[in-house]
Amino acid sequence: MRTLITGGTLVGPLGATPTDVLVDGETVAALLAPPSAASRPAVEADRIIDATGKYVIPGGVDVHTHMELPFGGTAASDTFATGSAAAAWGGTTTIVDFAVQRTGEVVEEGLAGWHAKAEGQCAIDYGFHMIMGGVDEAALKAMDSLVAHEGVTSFKLFMAYPGVFFSDDGQILRAMQRAADSGATIMMHAENGLAIDVLVAQALARGDTDPIHHGLTRPPALEGEATHRASVLAQVAGNPPLYFVHLSASEALGVVSGARAAGRNVFAETCPQYLYLSLEEHLGAPGFEGAKYVASPPLRTNTAPHADDLWRGLRTDDLAVVSTDHCPFCFAEQKELGRGDFSKIPNGIGTVEHRIDLIYQGVVAGKISLQRWVETCATTPARMFGLYPRKGVVAPGSDADIVVYDPAVTTTISAATHHMNLDHSAWEGFEIAGKVDTVLSRGSVVVSGGQFSGRAGHGRYVPRGLSQYLR
């Protein structure tokens, strides 16, 4: 099957250019001058997609999702089937999810468990990071094995959640040393979990049980402190690639900026919720409504310039990637587990369907360029996690993961129309300029004309190489 996408403006690493794209089977065959060019040869195709007036961009790469993640006595409400389909609706054609090893468990068995969840279920391609919940000698050996044989080249550590995922500084240092030897990336959840637990216990003892106290007991200073501490440990460990997940606070961004200015292998992502939502308006919503917005790190105050600083970080590349940390929990029967005790509210917000749209609003508002939109949502995450040039770019030989995006359409986000397995939307009522028009996953049209034509099982596991940003 040969598909010709014609009339559109291709947006990629070199800017925005009128370009036609020829797809042959599952890969991009050629980039062509527009038909009006005198030198343009005739092109035969089985299917023509008219992209006139639209942008043609690489399919989004979301490198931070949590499908079916067990948490707090329940599990994330999106399965790999529902979550991957929702991602496709939103223009994301590759996800990298997190396999889990808890303390006392075997790393390889944790990875096998996630393969079993995802195999035959995904509508788009997928890979895995590995959460390391118990760093011991066996786990360190497993890191080398996963890099060499499984295409898992990134390992997430937690400075939060004592008793569940928490690693102490010594464990973190040992894992970083192993990563420095292999080239693997350490992904870090940087919050001072021991101090946070003290603040949570004190708040509950005072009777401060509403959702807003989830944010007040996780102050930005404790994200900044943990970010600094992890950065110092990485420096001592030999400068392995260190990637801070879901960075939310100006204090943490300052640490990352300083480390990068010093030439270190330090990188960071942020998420749409930290660019748009706030502690006061959303986490502090009346009654128990704020539970819908409980995530960690929490939404930050709008009385400080956190969001403005994060947008600046995206412009300057101190923030390299926008991911979602997609970890949805329904309000009924899941978020409600924390009525009367905010510490029991499952942590997570559902965004995998909306990332491309939400970050495009930064283009509309003049906060970032078209090129930066594509870089942060597709090209850079693919390069950061060993998927490029197969993913993250529209170029000859790359997988034909392509989105046709219509900037002229306006939509409104609502739980009534989204495709995530979620009974509410953190983005309810957000007006969006622009809309995903057509989505191709490895050459197959999975979304077009407001219809989903993908299927569970189309998506394949994609083994990954090392980060392409090593210094």
| Mean pLDDT computed over every residue of the chain | 96
Q: Please spell the DSSP secondary structure of 54-107, one letter per residue.
A: SEEEEPEEEEEE-TT-EETTEE-S--HHHHHHHHHHTTEEEEEEEEEE-TTS-H
Q: Please spell the DSSP secondary structure of 183-239, one letter per residue.
A: TPEEEEE---HHHHHHHHHHHHHHT--STHHHHHTS-HHHHHHHHHHHHHHHHHHT-
Q: CA-to-CA distance for 316 and 319, rounded, in angstroms?
A: 7
- What is the value of pTM for the model shown? 0.97
For residue 119, the SS3 value is coil
Residue 326: DSSP 8-state: B
Rounded to whole angstroms, what are the CA distances from 471 to 140, 264, 267, 272, 387?
23, 7, 12, 28, 18
59-384: CATH number: 3.20.20.140
* Structure-block tokens of residue 341: 């005790």
| C-alpha torsion sign, points 413, 415, 416, 419 | positive
Domain-by-domain residue ranges, the chain? Answer: 59-384
Is the N-terminal amide bond of 297 cis, ω within 30° of 0?
yes
So what's the pLDDT on residue 39? 66
| C-alpha torsion sign, points 76, 80, 81, 84 | positive
So what's the pLDDT on residue 259? 98
- Give the count of alpha carbons within 13 A of 410, CB side only: 4
User: Cα-flanking dihedrals φ and ψ of residue 440, to 5°?
Assistant: -110, 135
Residues ≥6 apart with Cβ < 8 Å to 47:
1, 2, 3, 4, 445
So what's the pLDDT on residue 38? 64
Query: pLDDT per residue over 73-101, tens digit each?
Result: 899 999 999 999 999 999 999 999 999 99
Would you say 375 and 15 are in contact if contact means Cβ atoms under 8 Å apart?
no
The count of other CB atoms within 10 Å of the CB of residue 322 is 31
Percent of the chain surpassing pLDDT 70: 99
Burial of residue 116 (CB within 10 Å: 0-12, 13-18, 19+) is: exposed
So what's the pLDDT on residue 298? 98
Q: What is the largest CA-CA distance in the chain?
A: 76
Would you say 422 and 386 are in contact if contact means Cβ atoms under 8 Å apart?
no
- Strand order through the sheet with 185-189: 60-65, 92-101, 125-132, 154-158, 185-189, 242-244, 266-270, 321-322
Least confident of 132-136, 245-249, 306-310: 132-136
Q: Which uninterrupted H or E stretch holds 32? A: strand 27-32
Q: Looking at residues 269-278, what average pLDDT do you find? A: 98
Query: pLDDT per residue over 331-368, tens digit each?
Result: 999 999 999 999 999 999 999 999 999 999 999 999 99
Query: pLDDT per residue over 206-218, tens digit each?
Result: 999 999 999 999 9
Rounded to whole angstroms, what are the CA distances from 163 to 166, 168, 412, 453?
6, 11, 41, 43
Rounded to whole angstroms, what are the CA distances from 100 to 42, 105, 145, 417?
51, 9, 16, 31
Q: Looking at residues 223-251, what average pLDDT do you find? A: 98
Q: CA-to-CA distance for 394 and 56, rounded, in angstroms?
A: 9
Q: CA-to-CA distance for 4 and 404, rounded, in angstroms?
A: 12
Q: CA-to-CA distance for 164 and 72, rounded, in angstroms?
A: 10
